[in-house]
Amino acid sequence: MHDASVHLRSYRGNPPDESHPFVQIVLPVAGTFEIDVGGRQSALSRSIGTLIYRQTSHELSSSGFNRSLILDIDERTISAQLLDKFSSSPFFEIGQRTAMLSRHMADVLQKGEQDKTSGNAWAPILIESLADGKVDTLTRLRSLRAMIEIDPFMPWSIERMADHVGVSLSRLQAVFREQFDETPHLWLANLRMENICRLLSNSPLPIAEIADRAGFSDQTALTRAMKNAIGTTPAAYRRAFSQRPQ
Transcribe 193-232 into DSSP letters.
HHHHHHHHHH----HHHHHHHTT-SSHHHHHHHHHHHHSS
User: Is the whole model's pTM more than 0.85, yes or no?
Assistant: no
The predicted structure's pLDDT at residue 2: 56
Task: Specify which of 123-137, 140-154, 158-172 reaches the highest per-range mean pLDDT.
Answer: 158-172
Residue type, 231: G
DSSP state letters, 155-198 = ---HHHHHHHHTS-HHHHHHHHHHHHSS-HHHHHHHHHHHHHHH
Instruction: Express each pLDDT in 188-235 by its tens digit.
Output: 999 999 999 999 999 999 999 999 999 999 999 999 999 999 999 999
Count of all residues that appear for the chain in the document? 246
Which domains does the chain possess? 4-135 (2.60.120.280), 136-246 (1.10.10.60)
CA angle 132–137–141, rounded 5-degree value: 100
Instruction: Tell me the mean pLDDT in the region 142-146.
Output: 84
